[in-house]
Amino acid sequence: MNIVIIGAGEIGRAMEKILKEKPDSPNQIFLWDKNQGKVSGQKPLEEIVPPADFIFLCVPSSAVEEFLTTIKPSLNPETIIISLSKGIGDSGRTMAEVLGDNLSGGFFGLLCGPMLAEEIMLGKKAFAVLAIENGENYEKASRLFSGTNLQIFQSSDVKGAAIASVLKNIYSVLFGICDGLGVGSNFKGRLLVEILEEMKRIILFFGGRSETAEGLAGLGDFFATATSIYSKNYQSGVEIVKNKTCSLAGEGIMSFNNLKKRLGDEINQFPLLKILDKILSDPAKANLLLEKLA
């Protein structure tokens, strides 16, 4: 197998580690980054893209469409593209929509779940669903990860997984706000229930299936992101309360602004998003979260 990993950041390096450590792996793995200095001996895209069996997108959501435009002329239509990008770009489209507008159906998927790069680099287990429409291509990916530290499960709900991956980052900011306020675990337990119900309704709004919120792409990934010391999204919430501002560049806040534009007036259907909007506009209003659940 020829495998190309786009993006030499934390998650790209983690994917490289997982696939390189596969027992008796015959795979050829090429890491590529826009910043050539990040990858020693980096080969040009026009050399590594055409023979690729798999391409993993490990870049910020805002960079996905630009990259797809770059490689489309040399892309083999049989190549399976798997995105680990979790956000909404400036166009307001989810990764499922961006990939669907640029690629053939069934030959792209989303890898979503509790996969903290820092834990992977420490040799710890990770778990994800591969949301992809083509069952045969899921089986190919399943064989690719067999025997590795990443255990994957099948889902055909590409739309639901895409928006769940956005929401888990956004709602993790709320958990950080809770810890910044010092409200305790009982309060967060109650908030978790509210988050899960709102996540289900937003997934349905985007054409996905509500049960996706209860799986690894939703609740599983949310829990890992909202409780981990490694999570920029969680830390963003803590900083908002303590410093009345946020200097961290996490996907949660960046995606929230684009999701807000996409929803327009429909955001009024989702009270937790509305509360977060008010807090981000005026961090001194963080206590609104307490009042909502009082």
Q: What is the mean pLDDT of residues 37-41?
A: 92
- The residues that are catalytic are 168
For the chain, what percent of residues have pLDDT higher than 90?
78
Q: Has residue 46 got a pLDDT over 70?
A: yes
- State the pLDDT at residue 33: 95
Q: Has residue 97 got a pLDDT over 90?
A: yes
- State the pLDDT at residue 199: 98
Nearest by Cα to 293 from 137, 189, 176: 189
Q: What is the mean pLDDT of residues 40-59?
A: 95
- State the pLDDT at residue 248: 61
CA–CA separation, 130 and 137 (whole Å): 10
Q: Has residue 186 got a pLDDT over 80?
A: yes
Q: pLDDT class for 89, splitting at 50, 70, 90?
A: confident
Q: What angle do CA 236, 83, 248 make, to 5 degrees?
A: 15
- State the pLDDT at residue 176: 94
Statement to judge: residues 171 and 150 lie in one domain: no
Statement to judge: residues 176 and 218 lie in one domain: yes
CATH number for 79: 3.40.50.720
Statement to judge: residues 171 and 87 lie in one domain: no
The string of pLDDT tens digits covering residues 211-248 is 999 999 999 999 999 999 889 999 999 999 998 877 66
Range of the domain at 120: 2-156
Domain count of the chain?
Answer: 2
Statement to judge: residues 260 and 126 lie in one domain: no
CA–CA separation, 189 and 261 (whole Å): 29
CA–CA separation, 92 and 291 (whole Å): 30
- State the pLDDT at residue 165: 95
For the chain, what percent of residues have pLDDT higher than 70?
98
Domain boundary among 135, 156, 177: 156
The values of phi and psi at residue 243, to 5°, are -110, 0
Q: What is the mean pLDDT of residues 266-289?
A: 91
Q: What is the overall mean pLDDT for the chain?
A: 92
- For residue 78, the Cα-to-chain-centroid distance in whole angstroms is 24
> 42 with 32: CB under 8 angstroms?
yes
Q: Record the pTM.
A: 0.93
Nearest by Cα to 230 from 112, 120, 111: 120
